[in-house]
Amino acid sequence: MSMANEDLGHAFEEKIRKNVRFTITSLSLHFLQISLSVVVKIVSGELKFLKLCAQWVPKIFYRRTQIETAGHDVGLSDTIQ
């Protein structure tokens, strides 16, 4: 990632962390020189954020929740049988 792209990534991440309930459209209004499709690629592709219950969260937290939930489901099914 070049220095300009890295600075842009930091700017995006700062905006996201200030308001995790943003929409892609509202975020793109802060970066008018960048197309909407590029904003989507930066947020979900490079920064690894995804939408979870109207709140954007880093993918790593979402994946951890999936694993924990799957573990609870297995434990619950073992208890029922």
What pLDDT is attached to residue 63?
A: 66
> How far apart (Å, rounded) are the C-alpha atoms in residues 3 and 33?
17
The pLDDT, as a whole number, for residue 45 is 86
- Whether 2 has a pLDDT exceeding 80, the answer reads no
- List pLDDT tens digits, range 17-68: 898 888 888 899 999 999 999 998 888 888 888 776 666 767 766 666 667 7
- pLDDT in the model for residue 69: 67
